[in-house]
Amino acid sequence: MNVISVIIIAKNEAVNIVDCVLSAALVSHDIIVADNGSTDNTASLATQAGARVLNVPWNGYGQTRNEAAAMAKNDWVIALDADERITPPFAASINNLSLTNAGILYGCKRENFLGVKKIRFGEWGRDKVYRLYNRQQASWNLMLVHETITGNNISKKIIPGALLHYTMKDRAEYQAKTILYAQLSATKYAAQGKKASPVKRFISPVFSFIQNYIFRLGFLDGKEGFVIACTSCRYIFLKYKFLYLLLQKKN
């Protein structure tokens, strides 16, 4: 096993945290759960599962991950969400790495689930994430949403195995997250000076549905594929709607 730390940011993740920590134990003896003010028993469950639980105030996705990484015992860090699991094949790939080059950012494919359904096609079926990095060479950017790892002279490498991502337990949670992420994306776009043109507001959502449901074969995932394509369409519509409203208010 390599000398690696795992950081997990969590708030009210009692339903997920034990399985996440146990999967992290496949690659690390230093597992940090950065608790962002949970009011359930996330902290106690994480401790019982073998993690170090630290109280880390929520300062956005990227900054909170960076603060958790700073508390790790090791420079090589894997960042997980509480609803993610390291699979044995991915763990084997990690444990076999030499980790002699701090400038490499390692990633893998991510298998996404909607409820208990594994999604194989559409946008979710093409997912890859980069999560293993050296904190001396790289860190998380401070984007409001869809944060990524950045650094100077960083190269990327996909290794065998996968993360499992139990992203939403049901459609109601999926819809709620869609609205939240659309609002965050609109705020980010406004700060970047982006515009909400009629094409972006009305054509892009339709193109998103066609791309995910037809061209990327989302229809092969059955009703879940249809729900995901529709929700992705709605997300893009809401994102630019909220951006349009922000810009109108600003002007």
Fill in the amino acid letter for 232. Answer: S
Q: What is the mean pLDDT of the chain?
A: 96
Take residue 35 and report the two structure tokens written for it: 């608790």
Domain boundaries, the chain: 5-168, 171-250
Give the pLDDT score at 77.
Answer: 99
Fill in the amino acid letter for 23. Answer: S
Model pLDDT for residues 163-185, shown as the tens digit of each residue:
999 988 777 888 999 999 999 99
Q: Which residue numbers in the chain have pLDDT < 70? A: none
Match domain 5-168 to its CATH number in 3.30.420.40, 1.10.260.40, 3.90.550.10, 2.60.40.420: 3.90.550.10
Strand partners, 78: 6, 132
- Cα separation, 129 vs 149, in Å, equals 10
Give the pLDDT score at 173.
Answer: 85
Give the pLDDT score at 251.
Answer: 74
Whole-prediction pTM: 0.91
Take residue 155 and report the two structure tokens written for it: 């190269």
First CA to last CA distance, the chain:
56
Supply the DSSP symbol for 36.
Answer: -
- Within 13 Å and on the Cβ side, how many CA atoms surround 14? 10
Give the pLDDT score at 140.
Answer: 98
Fill in the amino acid letter for 244. Answer: Y
List Cα–Cα distances, 52 to 7, 65, 159, in angstroms: 10, 15, 27
- Cα separation, 186 vs 182, in Å, equals 6
Model pLDDT for residues 88-112, shown as the tens digit of each residue:
999 999 999 999 999 999 999 999 9
